[in-house]
Structure 1
């Protein structure tokens, strides 16, 4: 399949309505920030804006009114759509396809849909720069798309928003939150490798720091950052990063850094610049760029702790 430049397909400036869901949600029009009074109406708009694809009414009814009859749930859905029609300045933001409801992508822009669009080629590309890319524009096109994508990620999906009385909606929201966070971390991992390969060490450092802002338990990224600081000759920063890594792992997982991390730290102390890894795919993907599982944070932390114990002593 030919590589497509997804970065060219961002219609934010051409639409009447802009919906931001990565971070605290907000809705904007050409006249400014919009206020939609009913929380459930906002939730419906957010659900439609997440995929920007028409959704069957039956699925929406189950998401918001799982215990009501189909007829009653459909009436409630119609009322919410009417409420949104009145609250939104665009007279025709919706599209109706048979029994499905969606938002018109020619009139509505969504940061989530654009973010996923920009990162879509991650699943088709190998991790890090590939041999077949030598002398081609593919690498820079992908980097540009991923850079635009990670700029859109301003925080967790629907940060600060909840519908505690609707378990189905809450479950959907949590699943989306972790799925989008995983894609964000994959994009950052790719950017770290590709900018390093181009010799853009400061950019690689920036993306590694953003990665750790979201996932401070990612020891492989701490180690990359130690090595990157060593490459720039900033030994003090490398030492501080190792100390941060050590404190975080001991506090959250009750473990010490792996021997590889100690080795990177020792190299930094002695002024050795570990360039051998820069621009190369990690030798063991299973030990590198770990992304969050789709589980609750406490469960995820427990799983990571057990995995780290296994790494240190595989016989346990």
Structure 2
């Protein structure tokens, strides 16, 4: 029997859990999905730690037995999906994981190394991390990925505006604002793109939206940085 090429498999965690290969979806039981997702997001994990995270109300022996069963089911569905050692487990690094890809692209963008040469992929990596799951351990990962995405969208908008790619810059800025309407820096990213493109009127509209949202929801006004940006755009029209 030929060895499975795991590089042909994609694990989706943004928006839903889905493991897909050339022949379609690989179906995994819920408990197995959670083990796979944990390994994809957290990296290698000790068996005891993983068993305790998912079966905290059971004794260590039973929890480890449940973990062994979950790993067996994972590798039965897709041989080599979970790599095993006596005390630790890993997800195969050959499987493509959308959350990992987004993180890598985000770090490259924030460090100035890219991905401005091809921003479409980053813009397409959208969606909340496993939104239908209520697992407590996911709270930290959800917040981490959300904040990383918002920061990188704002940075991407600025990079693209400098390059004159105003359409893509605005798409990134609006995606950041849509991700968190109360985030003033996301509103400011939209304003900056309008200003860079010479659209003072649209910059004013975006500022008024920011003013209304922050005032209504938080009882606050925009910062001096945001206000100064719009004031400069107003002066450019007068002059």
Secondary structure of 2:136's match? helix
1:247-258 mapped onto 2 (5 Å cutoff): 247-258=212-223
Query: Is 2:107 the partner of 1:116?
Result: no
| Structure 1 residue aligned with 2:119 | 147
Aligned to 1:195, the other structure's residue is in SS state: helix
Q: Distance in 2 between matches of 1:230 and 1:16?
A: 44
**Unpaired runs of 5+ in structure 1?**
1-12, 126-138, 163-169, 274-316
State yes or no: 1:103 paired with 2:94. Answer: no
Q: What secondary structure sits across from 1:171 in the alignment?
A: coil
Structure 2: runs of 5 or more not aligned: none
Q: 1:145 to 1:115 in 2, by over 3 A?
A: farther
RMSD: 2.7
Query: Which has a greater percent of helix?
Result: 2
Secondary structure at the aligned position of 2:20 is classed as strand
Q: Report the Cα distance in structure 2 between the residues aligned to 1:226 and 1:14, rounded to whole angstroms.
A: 44
Matches within 5 A, 1:249-268: 249-268=214-233
The answer to whether the 8 A contact 2:14-2:128 is kept is yes
Aligned to 1:46: 37
* Counterpart-to-counterpart distance in 2, 1:14 and 1:223: 42
Partner SS for 1:92: coil
Matches of 1:145 and 1:46, distance apart in 2 = 30
Per-residue deviation, 1:260: 4.0
Say whether residues 1:30 and 2:4 are aligned partners.
Answer: no
Deviation at 1:267, TM superposition (A): 4.1
State how 1:51-90 maps to structure 2 within 5 Å: 51=42, 53-86=43-76, 88=77, 90=78
Q: Is the 8 A contact 2:161 2:196 kept in 1?
A: no
1:295 aligns to what?
none
Q: 1:221 to 1:114 in 2, by over 3 A?
A: closer
Contact 2:123 2:172 in 1 (8 A): no
**CA–CA separation in structure 1 for the residues paired with 2:90 and 2:120:** 25
* Cα-to-partner distance string for 1:130-156 (whole Å, 9 max, x where unaligned): xxxxxxxxx5x5234883663353211
State the TM-score, normalized to the length of structure 1: 0.65
Alpha-carbon distance in structure 2 between the residues aligned to 1:161 and 1:171: 9
Give matches, 1:152-301, under 5 Å: 153-162=125-134, 170-269=135-234, 271-272=236-237
